[in-house]
Amino acid sequence: MSRATTELPTTDLYAVALSSMDQPDGHRHWYARYEGGTRHPLAESLRRWCGGADPTDRDLLDHADGAVLDAGCGPGRLVAELARQGRDAAGVDTSRTAVRLARSAGATALVRSIFEPVPGEGGWDTVLLADGNIGIGGDPSVLLARCRELIGPAGRVLVELDPPGTGLRSDRVRLECGSRRGTWFDWAHVGADAVGEPAAEAGLHVDETWTRCGRSFAALVPPAGTGVAAAVDLAS
């Protein structure tokens, strides 16, 4: 007899996934289901999200200047690494479980959507969109425009991208594990050779691109001489 399907809000099922990582093989059997039917395993991603920063992560953080805001920080491996380095950094995530884990790892993190007010608006030196978080909300141009509002005039947005050839596409996705299903949410994919278009629509341009260990990244910056500097107060 098959088990009845259980549908949970995406944030709740994501919390279950993160909480399962302290169990043997807790990362297994988790998938991202695309509305068209394709299913992708999340085991490798969950292991990376819930582990410590690896050399590729640290290389990414070497490209981050000054005060850093990690958008969609998850359980906080990047912002915790920045804290260990003694740098000014904070993360935001809509998952309370992710933020709790980030704080337990020594990070400053807030339960917040990147589209809600955050401390230091207009004063961050770097905004991170790692782990494909340029897909948040399903519209990269809108997300990048929001990130542009958060950085100072000399700031930058560091984005992790899909491999070249992926193009630019928006999807509906849900989390799955066994009989449990998350609610559908909007997500986007941006290839390393396709980021210029949404960046330009957001008032940014590609300043630098690089690849390390099969992962692709870009640094996006506003035109020189734009914006007004603002101080960042991580205690806000």
pLDDT digits (tens, 9 = 90+) for 37-84: 899 999 889 989 999 999 999 999 999 999 999 999 999 999 999 999
Q: Is residue 80 part of a domain?
A: yes
**Residue 196, pLDDT score:** 97
In which residue are the tokens 């390390």 written?
212
Task: Measure the CA dihedral 77/43/33/159, to 10°.
Answer: 30
pLDDT tier for residue 7 given thresholds of 50, 70 and 90: low
Q: Does residue 159 contact residue 220 with C-beta atoms inside 8 Å?
A: yes
CATH number of the domain residue 183 falls in:
3.40.50.150
- Do the domain assignments include residue 69? yes
**Both tokens assigned to 76:** 């906080």
Judge whether 227 lies within some domain. Answer: no
Which range marks the domain in which residue 55 is found?
6-221
Burial 76-106 (b: 16+ CB within 10 A, else e): bbbbbbbbeeebbbbbbbbbebbbbbbbebe
Nearest to 52 by CA among 85, 24, 14: 85
Beta strands (DSSP E) in the chain are 6-8, 30-34, 39-41, 68-71, 89-93, 109-111, 124-129, 151-161, 168-177, 180-182, 185-190, 205-212, 215-221
Q: Token digits for 65?
A: 């200047």
Say if pTM beats, i.e. exceeds, 0.85.
Answer: yes
Cβ-in-10-Å burial (0-12, 13-18, 19+) of 236 comes to exposed
DSSP per-residue string spanning 40-81: EE-HHHHHHHHS---HHHHHHHHT--SSEEEET-TT-HHHHH
- For residue 26, the model assigns a pLDDT of 56
Q: Is position 236 within any domain?
A: no
Higher pLDDT, 73 or 9: 73
| Confidence at residue 113, expressed as pLDDT on a 0 to 100 scale | 97
pLDDT at 195 over 60: yes
User: What are the tens digits of pLDDT across the range 20-48?
Assistant: 876 656 556 899 999 988 999 998 899 89
Query: Does a structural domain hold residue 171?
Result: yes
CB atoms within 10 A of CB 167: 11
Nearest to 73 by CA among 95, 47, 41: 95
pLDDT tens, residue by residue, 119-149: 999 999 999 999 999 999 999 999 999 999 9
In a domain, 1, yes or no: no
Residue 196 domain-assigned (yes or no): yes
**pLDDT in the model for residue 231:** 40
Pair 175, 32: CB distance under 8 Å: yes
d(CA 163, CA 229): 34
Q: Which residues of 35-45 are buried (b: 16+ CB within 10 A; e: fewer)?
A: eeeeeeebeeb
| 234: in domain | no
The set of residues, in sequence order, having a beta carbon less than 8 Å from that of 40 and lying 6+ positions away, is 31, 32, 34
What's the pLDDT tens digit per position in 85-118? 999 999 999 999 999 999 999 999 999 999 999 9
Count the domains in the chain: 1
Beta strand 89-93 with 68-71 is parallel
